[in-house]
Amino acid sequence: MAGKFSRRALLRGTVLGSGALVLGAPVVSAQGQEKVIRCGVVTSLSGDNRFGGNLTRRGYDLWAEEINKLGGIEIAGQRYPVKMFYGDAQSRPASGADAAVRLIIQDKVDVLFGPYTSGVTLAVQPISAKYQVPMISGSAESPNVWLSKPAFNFGMIPAVDLTSDKSIKVLAENLGSKAKSVAVVGVDEPFSKETAEGFRHGVQEADLELKRFELFPANADLTPIISKLKDDNPDIVAVGGHESVFINFVNAAVSLDYRPKALIMHYGVTSAAFINQLGEKANGALGVSVWTAGLPYRDDLFGTASDYSELSFARWGTHPDYTEAGCSASGLVLQDAARRLGKAPPWDQKTRVELTKAIEETDIETFYGPVAFAKEGDHFHNNIKPVPVVVQIKDGKVVPVAPSSAAEGELQYPMPGAS
């Protein structure tokens, strides 16, 4: 295995212009006649959500590098390289929409890989539909993305309302009579609000006492919020947000000498930025993940979940979280659909619509787990198959602790230094 990774590490791509990256076989120079598959990535490479945005890029890029080492995507016995184009959403929905238009009109991409945040995804989704360009979203988790039944967008991660509520119920079952009360707070924006609402629903389902439910602006001073939580003294504090909010929350709580018995968040706890920036203060924090390297999944490109994790570490210097994994698996969805479509690039509008239908029929097993998109209901075109896992930060490492079928360590309660 070590030999395989060392050979991969020796292979690198060539930057073409300001926004394109191609690896693998040479292509014809005339844009309209290129025998390549043109993939546009819209994500937040700058701004408040740049940490997560760059994780999505890593996930998409790692797939592109690996498939191009084989010569590209196989279609009807021939291989066609992938060429990547990038649009910076700048952590703003309007900028994401503009970037998508440029990728479609100027760069003539055949498919889009979706943004990091749900807010930007909601802004890009109508652009994808207008120009009939399929979009595979490796990160978006807001249920609002799927409520409108988007014909051209497909989501790899189950919506947060399917995961955050289950995490509270898993905790309640694990802790038993030790935990009786919960306070839920979150940022008042799509993903974070729905995460908080999912936590609240889980509290109700688990028959726990809800001591507080409060939403706050993205740039709010967290001091008064944490002071209220300190007075409430719940057994569990659940926070809906992104990694920058989680980092600020932990730092503000430490400054106020407050450490809840259990602190659970959602996405962000598993990111390298959360652990690296907080250091020992991250220990004990709980998060929700739909993928870990220890799960028994595999595919022909990446191998096992563990193989993928080691490959990503060798390439980027950090182990991947479920967002990176979901983005890399987005490429597996594309290559499977393109193979079944059986038409060589370049693809015209009619073929892109046919490709969209092929993506809709996806039913594959990957290193990330099973992938199949709902065709009806409130989670239309969302991959609802992955099962959420509760993880805890221990000595700077992400350790699955519940449910028992996925646990690799014991749940520590109260968390270190609890007030």
Chain segment 130-162, per-residue pLDDT in tens: 999 999 999 988 899 999 999 999 999 999 888
Q: What is the pLDDT, as a whole number, of residue 243?
A: 83
What is the pLDDT, as a whole number, of residue 3? 35
Strands (E), 89-159: 111-113, 135-137, 153-155
The alpha carbon of residue 279 and the mean position of all alpha carbons in its chain are separated, in whole angstroms, by 23
Structure tokens at 391: 């993880």
pLDDT tens digits for range 47-64: 988 988 999 999 999 999
In the sheet that 82-88 helps form, which strands lie side by side, from edge to edge? 14-16, 20-22, 82-88, 37-43, 111-113, 135-137, 153-155
User: If you average pLDDT over every residue of the chain, what do you get?
Assistant: 90
Contacts of 304 (CB under 8 A, 6+ apart): 296, 297, 298, 367
Residue range 202-239, pLDDT digits in tens: 999 999 999 999 999 988 999 999 999 999 999 999 99
Confidence of residue 269 (pLDDT cuts 50, 70, 90): confident
pLDDT band at 272 (very low <50, low <70, confident <90, very high): confident
With pLDDT > 90 as the criterion, what percentage of the chain qualifies?
Answer: 75
The dihedral built from the CA positions of residue 263, 268, 274 and 275, taken in this order, carries a sign that is: positive
Can you name the residues that pair with 372 across neighbouring β-strands?
Answer: 363
pTM of the model: 0.77
Q: What percent of the chain has pLDDT over 70?
A: 92
Q: How many residues does the chain have?
A: 419
pLDDT given at position 20: 53
Closest CA to 163 of 312, 56, 270, 259: 270
Question: Under 8 Å CB-to-CB from 328, ≥6 apart: which residues?
Answer: 59, 60, 62, 63, 138, 302, 308, 312, 320, 367, 368
